[in-house]
Chains A and B, each alone.
Chain A
Amino acid sequence: MTTLELIAAALLCLGTFFCLVGGIGLHRMPDFYTRTHAASITDTMGAGLVLVGLMFLCDGQHWTVPVKLGMVLVFVLLTSPTSGHALVKAAAAEGVRWVTGTPPDSSPDAEGSKEEV
């Protein structure tokens, strides 16, 4: 392996690690809002590192390949926090429970009925 490939391999492995961590966090986190945190790790660190790692493998490819990778990276980095933001707003408006309590505008006694909204 060349140096470039070594760097790429390291970045790819690190990115995959973050993906898996986020996936596990999606199950370990107690409520929706914290799960958003886990999911966004896979979208930013995971996807970002993997895509940057792939850029290091572009040696000898057509010049559009790294450009397209960069476009994917920019789009992922733009869209995923935005959709996460929209989701959290919608969830807060719906009154999805927090783990430490309830949002200010939802009824505190609806403990069971919050499941399976």
Chain B
Amino acid sequence: MSGLSVEAVLTAVMIGVMGTMFLALARAALGPTVFDRILAANMFGTKTVLLIAVAGFYTSRPEWLDLAIVYALVNFAGTIAVAKYCRFGNLAHDGQRRASR
């Protein structure tokens, strides 16, 4: 296995993940429905988590994983808020009281 180093693999992974990010961005740009955009944005967030985790190993600074955890958690909050806004038109609703909005 000469010529194949961990750094090369990590670089390949980063480039692959960024290719996926481009694809997700294209889907976010094209739509057609707003849900496609949300889906693409959510996927983009996960890919950023991966990118940062891999970049941390690539530059041997694994404490960047804190950042990846923040992404994984905060991205969820954002997506849920967006889905909620889509469905109810505001953020204050508790999802139970009114049936048809």
Q: Quick check: do A and B touch in the complex, using CB within 8 A?
A: yes
A residues adjacent to B (C-beta < 8 A) = 1, 5-6, 8-9, 12-13, 15-17, 19-20, 22-24, 26-27, 32, 35-36, 39, 42-43, 46-47, 50-51, 54, 57-58, 61-62, 65, 68-69, 71-72, 75-76, 79-80, 82-84, 86-87, 89-91, 93-94, 96, 114-117
Q: Is the interface of A mostly helix, strand, loop or mixed?
A: helix
Closest to B38 in A: A87
Cβ of B39 and Cβ of A36 under 8 Å apart? yes
B residues adjacent to A (C-beta < 8 A) = 1, 4-6, 9-10, 12-13, 16-17, 19-20, 22-24, 26-27, 31-36, 38-40, 42-43, 46-47, 49-50, 53-54, 57, 62, 65-66, 68-69, 72-73, 75-76, 79-80, 83-84, 86-87
Contacts of B62 in A (CB 8 A): 58, 61-62, 65, 68
A-B contact pairs, 11 of them (CB 8 A): A1-B1, A9-B4, A13-B9, A26-B43, A32-B35, A69-B53, A83-B42, A86-B80, A86-B84, A87-B35, A93-B87
Contacts of A17 in B (CB 8 A): 16
Contacts of B10 in A (CB 8 A): 12
Contacts of A47 in B (CB 8 A): 46, 49-50
